[in-house]
Amino acid sequence: MNWLAVAILGFVTLERLLELVIARTNTARLVAKGAREHGASHYPAIVAVHAAWLITLWLLATGRPIDPFWLAMFAMLLIARFWVIATLGPRWTTRIIVHPDAPLVRKGPYRFLNHPNYWVVIGEIAVLPLVFGLIYVALLFSLLNAAVLWVRIGAENAALRR
């Protein structure tokens, strides 16, 4: 067992669980202020893809060597993730929650990209398996992620146009 691999996966797992707590808190606060959820029907598929990705990594990666280049790339993606979350602050959730009176965010990474969080997720889904040399895991989950993001981004764009 590679203890660095376990530490990396442990960090990512704890970070994702903390994000779920933050997202749930923010969702409840936004809904209490009149925001509505959109596209809820696809949310279980997103959760399933992300959970399966992490479980697969726990099953396959803990005994594998670490590629320093891909680890550095993943660290940069984490910084981008934290930038997105910090920029949205109390509006950041894992669901599509829109308040009809709230303006679109146009600061932070949103100055440069539409949906920067999804760009980060695309990178993370592909790069973390590559840290462990698991190319086929990167490919498989990138395809699954692309499928759920296709639905997700369509639903989010429709909600934001309203």
**Domains defined along the chain, listed by start:** 3-161 (1.20.120.1630)
Own/partner pairs, 117-124, CB within 8 angstroms, 24+ separation: 117/81, 117/84, 118/149, 118/152, 118/153, 119/80, 120/77, 120/80, 120/81, 120/84, 121/145, 121/149, 122/146, 122/149, 123/73, 123/77, 123/80, 124/74, 124/77, 124/78, 124/81
Residue 141 pLDDT greater than 80, yes or no:
yes
The pLDDT, as a whole number, for residue 162 is: 74
Model pLDDT, residue 1: 87
Give the SS3 label for residue 117: helix
- Binned at pLDDT 50, 70 and 90, residue 60 comes out as very high
pLDDT score of 56: 98
94: left (phi over 0), alpha (psi -120 to 50) or beta: alpha
- Mean pLDDT for the chain? 96
pLDDT of the residue at 127: 98
> Tell me, what's the pLDDT at 15?
97
